[in-house]
Amino acid sequence: MSDITISDDTRERLAGISTATLTTQLFKRGLSNVFLFGLQPANPAAVNFVAEAYTLRYIPSREDIDTLEVFKDYDHPQRKAVETVPPGQALVIDCRGVTSVASAGSILVTRLMMRGAAAVVSDGGLRDWPEIAALDFPAFAAGSAAPTNLTRHHAVEALNEPIGCAGVAVYPGDVLVGDAEGVVVIPRHLAAEVAVDGFEQERQERFLTAKVRGGSPLRGVYPPDENTVAEYEAWKAAGEPEK
């Protein structure tokens, strides 16, 4: 992870910005592959989070290595990842898009929550989905899948290395933001500026949406022409919060 600091101000702003807006801000900066498509939250009431990525990688399992015995080792990489992700960070798991088996189950996700992790994000499945859905903890995955990860996955030793998740590059320390739409990955060095510009974009879009709801056509309004921008600036000056 680079030594760029993510300030509290940036975190607060990001927490209020939709993943849709964030993808637009990143697209403006030339990045088009930042949204973890195809994931869903286990608990639709626990979706919002802002967190640095801490990564775990799975490769295909092999029958002679990946037996249930491996879990007797408390230093098994999957267990170690759960116990070492720093509080406030999100555990992101690379399952190579294999969705038919679990990447973790309710006991490990409960432990993540107890340890103060911010979220778990996987492009594979989760087992004990109903139990995880009952936790007040953001857990995004491809869906429910009962079989243990060992049937298809082997967790590699090296933790917190760059991975792919749902087709998107995730570097340790990248900033993930989750909402009801899904999860977006913000390269760490862009987090601060994206937070500022995204906040402004959303404020303006709230104003424009109100106009459209009031019957305005797109012409002149979306995107705003000079007149609408002036109106918006006046509205903003009249009292919208600056952050």
Contact between 88 and a second copy by CB under 8 A: the answer reads no
**What is the nearest approach in angstroms of a second copy to the Cβ of residue 209?**
6
Question: Hey, what are 181's tokens?
Answer: 């739409």
DSSP secondary structure letter of residue 40: E
For residues 148, 150, 154, 158, the Cα torsion angle rounded to the nearest 10 degrees is 50
Which of the stretches 3-11, 76-84, 193-201, 229-237 binds a second copy when contact is defined by CB under 8 A? 76-84
Please say which residue, 74 or 237, places its beta carbon nearer to a second copy: 74
Of 9 and 83, the one with the shorter C-beta distance to a second copy is 83
Residue 6 or 168 with smaller CB distance to a second copy: 168
Which residue stretches of 164-223 are H helix? 191-213
- The reply to whether 29 sits near a second copy by the rule CB under 8 A is yes
Per rule CB under 8 A, is residue 84 in the interface with a second copy?
Answer: no
Shortest reach from residue 207's CB to a second copy, in Å:
11
Half-sphere exposure of 4 (CA within 13 A, CB side): 16
Residue 185 CB contacts under 8 Å (≥ 6 apart), including other chains: 34, 35, 36, 53, 165, 168, 169, 170, 174, 175, 176
Any idea how long the chain is? 243
For a second copy, give the closer residue by CB, 206 or 243.
206
Q: Which of 15, 43, 105, 196 binds a second copy (CB under 8 A)?
A: 105
Give the single-character DSSP code of 192.
Answer: H
Contacting residue, 32, 226, 234, 241, with a second copy by CB under 8 A: 32
x/- contact string, 112-151, with a second copy (CB under 8 A)?
Answer: --x------------xxxx-------------xxxxx-xx
CB of 68 to a second copy, least distance (A): 6
* Long-range own/partner contacts, residues 107-110 (CB < 8 A, 24 or more apart): 108/78, 108/79, 108/82, 109/135, 109/137, 109/139, 110/135
CA angle 142, 143, 149 (to 5 degrees): 85
Q: Give the footprint of a second copy on residues 177-236 (CB under 8 A).
A: 179-182, 184, 187, 205, 208-209, 212-213, 215, 217-220, 222-223
